[in-house]
A and B are shown apart, each in its own frame.
Chain A
Amino acid sequence: MANDKTQEPLLTVRGLRIEGKSEDQWNEIVKGVDLTLHRGEVLGLIGESGAGKSTVGLASMGFTRDGCRISGGEITFDGIDLRNASAADKRGLLGKRIAYVAQSAAASFNPAHKLIDQYSEAPVVHSVMSRADAEADAVDLYRRMQLPDPEQIGFRYPHQVSGGQLQRAMTAMAMSCRPDLIIFDEPTTALDVTTQIEVLAAIRDIVEQFNTAAIYITHDLAVVAQMADRIKVLLKGEEVEEADTRCMLSTPKEDYTKSLWAVRSHARPEQPKPEGETPVVSVRNVTAGYGKVDVLQDVSFDIHKRRTVAVVGESGSGKSTTARVITGLLTPRRGEVLFDGETLPADYRSRSRDQLRQAQMIYQMADTALNPKLTIRELIGRPAQMYLGLKGKALEDRVKDLLNLIELEPEHYIDRLPSELSGGQKQRIGIARALAAEPKFIICDEVTSALDQLVAEGILKLLDRLQEQFDLAYMFITHDLATVRAIADEVVVMQQGRVVEQGVKSEMFQPPHHPYTELLLSSVPEMDPDWLSDLLASRAAK
């Protein structure tokens, strides 16, 4: 990749400041960011949520979202002052010389038009080529992006094309005018790991082929390591550090960057498998589904006291449906769920209050799992009041104990509403609510996937500690293998409603694997800049 320092840079951003409006006040969300990009160079922009990476990415196109404004700094693209350019001048650049690839292609393609119409729009409106040429060109780019049936796929509507294919079609669309610069805004975040690989490879190829400069925005370090020549780390609207990719990975300078790198190394020692003990929860030959379709087929596994069973799979694998069967929200067609060796009624409405108390659940989105109109006191107090009959002072003491357990200062938080808490704090309240019932078993449904890595780390450690303290059994639903490494004792791998492989963690991460487990494991990006190339080479060799 060319990185010719003698050339004029393509894009320079100096002292960029952006303000966002919230509750009628302007707050600075980007606080003086600098950025230089040469032709053909790929810059990785990385940070956690709220770091301002998307805002910076859009601002380098001279664009701000509604409710945001650029309050200071300069943005120069190929000698053009984007901050002071007229709206019409900027429109002449956008789509033609600077293009954008959004996070969710499914939402960013207009549902009312065919792919080819949307592909041709920018070239025709910007008078780059005729409609007929654009259509021919589209087929060529679709082929380069390794889309199936490139001649015909353009004549489909977005809803007729899968997510991974749409993301590639969007990259092709961004390339339609052969821009000098493309902004990729988390293009693979919404995809499953096995699909992500194909999209990453296609994006990397095409950017290289046309020697396009790119800004690649993501929160995933391993992904950015594959894509970028240089990496810039942002934190709360400020730059932490910037360096060449290899340099950054091997020797990060700042503490914050080091902490980001360190997250991945956390792993809990595996608990020994108990012998002859009745499992707390036992799922036996469950087949279940909605309507005529079977979503689960013959699923069986056990969960023992003080152990964590991670259920892993991609979207549509049936992990969440399994949880619905265990909680009694979905009645299985065949099979049963045992609790402490006794059969649970299939429907939660037929279960006793004590049976309900014993099994609790923590949800992925704390935002929708906590009633926004109830205070923390009511949220946590309700199960204690219902199941244990606590009242008045005893109830308040119990709520305070629980808050202490989840490391939130009781006096400070007890009368707050969920909206006044951060994402991680909300998730802790979800945990406290589950604990308040004094259960034996907790289902954790993707509890860390909506959180930043450092916050997620804290939640995982807390869950570990609580398991020790209260002898809890966990069922941990996740799509993220790093989380599995960190927390599981046993792993159940699911694909299309079936358990394809299960066993203790130490064995699961050692070959030989079931082919699907192999695919899943090998698809998880690693923090090695050569990982993607090596993987593609080894897959091609097979």
Chain B
Amino acid sequence: MAHVWRMIAQRLALGFLTLFVISLLIFGATELLPGDFAEAVLGQSATEETVAAIRRDLGLDQPFHTRYIDWLFGVLQGDFGKSLSNDRPVLDLIGNRLGNTLFLAIYAACLAVPLSLALGILAALFRNSIFDRVSNAAALTSISFPEFFVAYILILWLAQGGHFPSIARLSSSASLGQTLYQTFLPALTLTLVVTAHMMRMTRAAIINLLASPYIEMARLKGMSPMRVILKHALPNALAPIINVVALNLAYLITGVVVVEVVFVYPGLGQLMVDSVTRRDIPVVQAVALIFASAYVLLNLTADVLSTLSNPRLMHRR
């Protein structure tokens, strides 16, 4: 087992290295600004004095590495700096919104993962049947739809009929049931978009294996189609399926941005879009770093899990 732990430790180290480089990239990207950060902030109202004042204020007269290290240590202690547009600490702005976004993503994941795995396995089991073809065409269609299209169709269909609210209002006093009801449409939108991907990839991962000699062997041992899929194909498809799930959960995190805008959902995505429009760089940096960390951590988890699912790695010669 020692080599597995060593391998996992290596992956973790690599993950943190990646995060470090990403933070460097996110912070350093502002250096690419044509002109100067301070001028960009002030836009047309820039005079020499105000620019100089802002520069001093933001520490722009310091060299790059000093500023980066200051910023990074701040971030590690939860201090993301101040918003340029309203001078409030970035952390306050992020506050509840991070929780809201995570709630929505987890809600959608709970709907999407079981649904798509079940559909994918069924499609592989009944491959080339009518069920397979219809679900394949439907999945392909739904992959092709922009998120906002799906969202508006659902609004038109379900919210116009008065079944579900089209604007996701969250209040701290609402019970879990009410919150789930309030946020059903955004969660459903995300579910539809992600399920199609996951289902197709699950199906492909299993069907890929069905041509293997050991699957033929299982069939020649008189095993039922269901047993062949569940007992013989699925364990070997675990690694690709774990990666598919991770990839799509990661996608959920970014897909949230558009969906939050459509449903006016008070999450990180909204905040990011607003800040990009206002060119509020500290906020954008903070939110980008949070999204990127979540993404890296998800992929890292998938990596570790698929390592653990591989008997060749778990049981060496």
Contact = CB atoms under 8 A, between A and B. Distances in A.
Interface in B202-231: 211-214, 216-224, 227, 231
B220 A125 contact: no
A95 B236 contact: no
A474 interface: no
A125 B227 contact: yes
B163 interface: no
B317 interface: yes
Interface stretch (A86-94, A254-262, A327-335, A350-358): A86-94
B311 A102 contact: no
A159 B223 contact: no
A112 B221 contact: no
B191 to A, nearest CB: 30
B2 to A, nearest CB: 17
A335 B316 CA distance: 35
Given A96-B222, A125-B223, A157-B311, A112 B217 contact: no
A95 B315 contact: no
B232 interface: yes
Interface residues of B, number: 23
A66 B216 CA distance: 10
Contacts of A65: 216
Contact of A122 (B222, B232, B312): B222
A110 B218 contact: yes
Interface residues of A, number: 31
Q: Do most interface residues of chain B lie in helix, strand or loop, or is the interface mixed? A: helix
B235 interface: yes
A65 B221 CA distance: 14
A109 B236 CA distance: 12
A95 B232 contact: no
Contacts of B311: 111-112, 157, 159
Contacts of A476: none
B240 to A, nearest CB: 13
Contacts of A386: none
Interface in A34-83: 58, 61, 63, 65-66
A160 B223 contact: no
Contacts of A112: 232, 235-236, 311
B223 A91 contact: yes
A351 to B, nearest CB: 39
Interface in A121-140: 121-122, 125-126
B227 to A, nearest CB: 7
A121 B223 contact: yes
Interface string B69-83: 000000000000000
A12 B102 CA distance: 66
Interface in B298-317: 311-312, 315-317
Nearest to B314: A157
A94 B221 contact: yes
A159 B317 contact: yes
Interface in A91-109: 91-96, 99-100, 102, 104, 107-109
A95 B227 CA distance: 14
B214 A107 contact: yes
Given A109-B214, A113-B235, A159 B312 contact: yes
B221 A104 contact: no
Contacts of A58: 220
Nearest to A104: B213
B219 to A, nearest CB: 7
Contacts of A94: 219-222
B232 A110 contact: yes
Nearest to B128: A66
Interface in A112-166: 112-113, 121-122, 125-126, 156-157, 159-160
B317 A95 contact: no
Contacts of A110: 214, 217-218, 232, 235-236
A471 B290 CA distance: 72
Given A122-B222, A157-B315, A108 B236 contact: no
A65 B315 CA distance: 33
Contacts of B217: 100, 102, 108-110
B194 to A, nearest CB: 27
Contact of B213 (A95, A107, A113): A107
Nearest to B236: A112
B235 A95 contact: no
B216 A102 contact: yes
Q: Which of B211, B221, B236, B315 has the most A CB atoms < 10 Å from its CB? A: B221
B307 to A, nearest CB: 14
Given A93-B222, A112-B232, A160-B315, 11 more contacts: A66-B211, A91-B223, A94-B221, A95-B223, A99-B220, A100-B221, A102-B213, A107-B214, A108-B214, A125-B227, A159-B311
Q: Which 8 A-B pairs have the closest CB atoms?
A: A95-B221, A94-B222, A112-B235, A95-B222, A107-B213, A91-B222, A100-B220, A108-B213
